[in-house]
Amino acid sequence: DTEVTQTPKHLVMGMTNKKSLKCEQHMGHRAMYWYKQKAKKPPELMFVYSYEKLSINESVPSRFSPECPNSSLLNLHLHALQPEDSALYLCASSQDDPGNTIYFGEGSWLTVV
């Protein structure tokens, strides 16, 4: 089972709203990731959690706030977003060793209005 589950699949939010994206994996992976993908562009790394601790933050604006409540769950809290933040947000997970396969979920489509 190589499944990473993301909810919701689609989200529309206003610029003053607070919402969250959720991600879950049951593969025993200890590294979890958030990527952002704009249309016709490659995925861009936002955050990496390793053993439930934030290990990489690619200079992401503070209106995006990640959280890793336990080794199976990863959240991305959204607040005061801008229309240009509209994108596909991808969660991924892997074992925490370099070179290990990184598995992606189907993504959450976010539209900011």
Partner 1 sequence: EDQVTQSPEALRLQEGESSSLNCSYTVSGLRGLFWYRQDPGKGPEFLFTLYSAGEEKEKERLKATLTKKESFLHITAPKPEDSATYLCAPQRGANNLFFGTGTRLTVIP
Closest CA relative to residue 24, chosen from 43, 42, 8, 40: 8
| Nearest distance in Å: CB 2, partner 1 | 8
E strands, the chain, in order: 4-7, 10-13, 18-25, 31-37, 44-50, 53-57, 64-70, 73-79, 87-94, 103-104, 108-112
Q: Which two tokens stand for residue 65?
A: 């706030």
Neighbouring-strand partners of residue 94? 31
| Residue range at the interface with partner 1 (CB under 8 A); choices 12-20, 49-57, 60-68, 75-83 | 49-57
**Between 108 and 112, whose beta carbon lies closer to partner 1?**
108
| Residue range at the interface with partner 1 (CB under 8 A); choices 14-22, 61-69, 71-79, 100-108 | 100-108
**Between 2 and 82, whose beta carbon lies closer to partner 1?**
2
Using rule CB under 8 A, residue 31 touches partner 1 = yes
Using rule CB under 8 A, residue 111 touches partner 1 = no
Report the site for partner 1 in 61-90 (rule: CB under 8 A).
88, 90
In the chain, the amino acid numbered 56 is I
Residues ≥6 apart with Cβ < 8 Å to 41: none
Q: Which residue ranges make up the site for partner 1 (CB under 8 A)?
A: 2, 4, 31, 33, 41-45, 48, 50, 55-56, 88, 90, 92, 94, 96, 98-99, 101-107, 109
